[in-house]
Structure 1
Amino acid sequence: MDVVTLTPADADATVALWGACNLTRPWNDAHADYARALAGPSSTVLGVRDGEALVGTVMVGGDGHRGWVYYLAADPGRRGEGIGRALMAAAEGWLVAHDLPKVQFMVRTANTEVLTFYARLGYEEQDVVVLGRRLDAPAH
């Protein structure tokens, strides 16, 4: 299974796949996320194709200390074929090549199927709390 670096021309297909995998939210601009990932040297989006069809993606980047993975998506009709596993291996390889010794990511707690997938890959829940707020909304 070949994992390739995606380009700006892949934006619509990528965002459509993210939507089909229930990874997008109305308050996040997925197209902007995609463009930002491709714009800088510290992140990218990788993908798997079957012919012309995009069947899997992962966004990967580093903050200088840790590697981060976002938007891991495998076509829902193609799950169980190793697409997600291949993409995570490629993301880990990208992080190692960029000298980032740790990878982490966030999964919604209700997404138990995905949590099981990551556990099978050897990932463990970390003893941290993720905090955040929108910067385009007024602080309280």
Structure 2
Amino acid sequence: EGGVTGSVMVGFDGHRGWVYYLAVAPAARGSGLGRALMAAAERWLRECGAPKLQLMVRGDNTAALGFYEALGLVRQDVVVLG
């Protein structure tokens, strides 16, 4: 109570929009807050002129993968080096 329930951090690099971070408190998951945050992020990125949106999710994060796929995002094959 009184804490942050959800947060999204996005950016536009001039080529594409990025969702860097999306979090919803466990007690608020399933409430539609995540969808609302993503809708706000997409709206802001469109206003910035971003032609597309990308984000990265760990392959073992099945909850996040299911969430983003339910929003219509599609997996892409990429190689990440670190």
Fold shared, TM-score > 0.5 on shorter chain: yes
1:137 equivalent in structure 2:
none
Partners of 1:126 and 1:66 in 2: CA distance: 15
Gaps of 5+ in 1: 1-49, 134-140
Q: Percent identity?
A: 61
Deviation beyond 3 Å, 4+ runs, structure 1 = none
Structure showing greater relative contact order (alpha-carbon pairs closer than 8 Å, 6 or more residues apart): 2
1:79 equivalent in structure 2:
29
Q: C-alpha displacement at 1:130, in angstroms? A: 2.4
Tell me whether 1:53 sits opposite 2:18 in the alignment. Answer: no
2:16 equivalent in structure 1:
66
Q: Larger Cα Rg: Structure 1 or Structure 2?
A: 1
Partners of 1:128 and 1:54 in 2: CA distance: 33
2:43 equivalent in structure 1:
93
Deviation per CA, 1:8-52: give whole Å up to 9, x if none: xxxxxxxxxxxxxxxxxxxxxxxxxxxxxxxxxxxxxxxxxx8x5
Tell me whether 1:117 sits opposite 2:49 in the alignment. Answer: no
Q: TM-score, normalised by structure 1?
A: 0.55
* Matched residue SS, 1:124: coil
* Matched residue SS, 2:57: coil
Q: TM-score, normalised by structure 2?
A: 0.92
Question: Aligned residues, how many?
Answer: 82
